[in-house]
A and B are shown apart, each in its own frame.
Chain A
Amino acid sequence: MNPLPRQLHLFLFFFLVVSGGCAGPKASFILLPEENHPAGEVIIQNRQGDERLTRPFQSVEVEGTHREPSPPVQLDPASVRQQYGGLMASLPQPPLHYLLYFEFGSAQLLPESEQLLPEIARAVNARRPAEVSVEGHADTVGTLEYNYNLGLRRATAVAERLAALGAAPVRVDAASRGKNDPQVKTPDETPEPRNRRAEITIR
C-alpha cells in the first residue's frame, strides 16, 4: 500500500518541518474557451493526485509538489480577461490555410486556383515575419513514387509562383504527401480532382 519506508517518511516529515512554511513553487492553470470548438480538457497531475479542467474559465491551483491539485473553481471571465489582457494580446494570430487545385497529372493550377495566388502572396506579406508550408497531394492514378514526385512538383511550383508574386516569408517549406493523404478517399487508380491539390499554411 505505502511504497515509502518509515525512515524516509520521518526524513520527509523532518524536512518539511525544518523548511517550515516554505511551500516551494506554486502554479495556477485556467482553461480558456476556444473559438469554433467545444472546450477541450486539461488534466493536472502530480504524485498526490489529479484534477480536470473541463469548462472555460475553470481554474486549478497547485501549491508545492507535496500537495494535490485544488478542486477546480469557476472564475469570472471578465476579470480573467482583464488580469491577463497583456498576455492574450501577445498571442500570435492563428495561421491561414488555403487549398489550390491542379490539372490532371500536372503542376499546372486550375484557373480558379491561379486567381487566388495574388491574394495569398499579399496575406504572406501582411503577416511578416511569416513562415509558409506548402504540402502537395495527388490522386491515386499512378505509382506511389510517381505521385510523390507529382506532389512535390505541385508544392514547389506554388512556392515559386508565390515568390514571383513578391511573397517574402522568412521560411518556405515545400513537401509532398503523394497519394497517401487524399481529401476524398478513393480506390487506387481513381482520377479525383479534389485530391489533386496543394495545402498552404501561412504562419
Chain B
Amino acid sequence: MRTIFLLLIALLASTGLLQAADRPHVGLVKSADGEAFIIRDGQRLGATPGAGLREGDVLMTGAQGSLGVILSDDTLLSLGSSSRISIERFTFDPARGAFAMVLRLSRGLIEYLSGKISKLSPGSVHIETPVATLGIRGTHLIARVEP
C-alpha cells in the first residue's frame, strides 16, 4: 500500500502536476493583443496583462496576436504574431552569484533587450532556435524564425 502511495507521488511529480507552484516566478506579462497564451504543464492559460510567468512557461501568440513581457532581471521581450518561445531556464540570484537564461524561440518573431543577467554575467544568456543558438553579450536584437 505504502509503495503504491509513493509510486503515485512519484508519478504526480514526474507528470509535472506538483511542479508549477514550486517553480520560481520569473516575470510578468505587461501587454497583450489578440490571441496570446501561456502554456504551463500542458495547460493553455490566457496571457493577460498582469499574469505572472514561471520558469518552463511557453509563450504563444496567434495570427493576430502580440505580447510584451518583462523578466525579473529587467529583460524586456516582445513577441510578434504566430510566435512561440519558451523560458527554458531562468536563474537570477545576485546574492549567490547565480545567473542563467535560456530562451527557445521555435517560431515567429521576438525583440529582446537584455537585463541584468547579461550585464552581471556575460555569456550566461542564450537564445536557441531550430537552426542556430545565439550567445548574447549585453544587447538588443530581433530574431525571426520561419518554419
Contact = CB atoms under 8 A, between A and B. Distances in A.
Contacts of B113: 34, 91, 94
B74 A42 contact: no
Contacts, number: 154
Interface in A40-54: 40-46, 53
Given A129-B30, A177-B95, A27 B129 contact: yes
Given A46-B131, A171-B28, A90 B142 contact: no
B136 interface: yes
A25 interface: yes
Interface string B53-94: 000000000000011111010101111100000000000001
A25 B130 contact: yes
B46 to A, nearest CB: 14
B28 A40 contact: no
Given A69-B132, A129-B49, A94 B74 contact: yes
For chain B, which range describes its interface: under 10, 10 to 19, 20 to 34, or 35 or more residues? 35 or more
Interface stretch (A5-13, A81-89, A98-106): A81-89
Interface in B130-146: 130-146
A63 B145 CA distance: 10
A95 B27 CA distance: 12
Given A34-B139, A171-B52, A92 B69 contact: yes
Given A90-B66, A129-B50, A41 B131 contact: no
Given A37-B138, A44-B134, A69-B132, A27 B145 contact: yes
Contacts of B144: 27-29
Interface string B29-64: 111010000000000000001101000000000000
Given A25-B130, A42-B134, A44-B132, A91 B141 contact: no
A42 B139 contact: yes
B30 A29 contact: no
Interface string B92-134: 0011000000000001011101100010000000000111111
Contacts of B78: 87-88, 90-92
Given A31-B141, A87-B142, A171-B25, A95 B70 contact: yes
Interface in A70-126: 80, 84, 86-88, 90-92, 94-95
Contacts of A131: 28, 70, 72
Interface string A16-36: 000000001111111111100
Which 4 A-B pairs have CB atoms at the shortest separation, nearest pair first? A40-B139, A129-B50, A90-B78, A40-B138
Interface of A: 24-34, 37, 39-46, 53, 62-65, 69, 80, 84, 86-88, 90-92, 94-95, 128-129, 131, 133, 170-171, 177, 180-181, 201, 203
Interface of B: 25, 28-31, 33, 49-50, 52, 66-70, 72, 74, 76-80, 94-95, 107, 109-111, 113-114, 118, 129-147
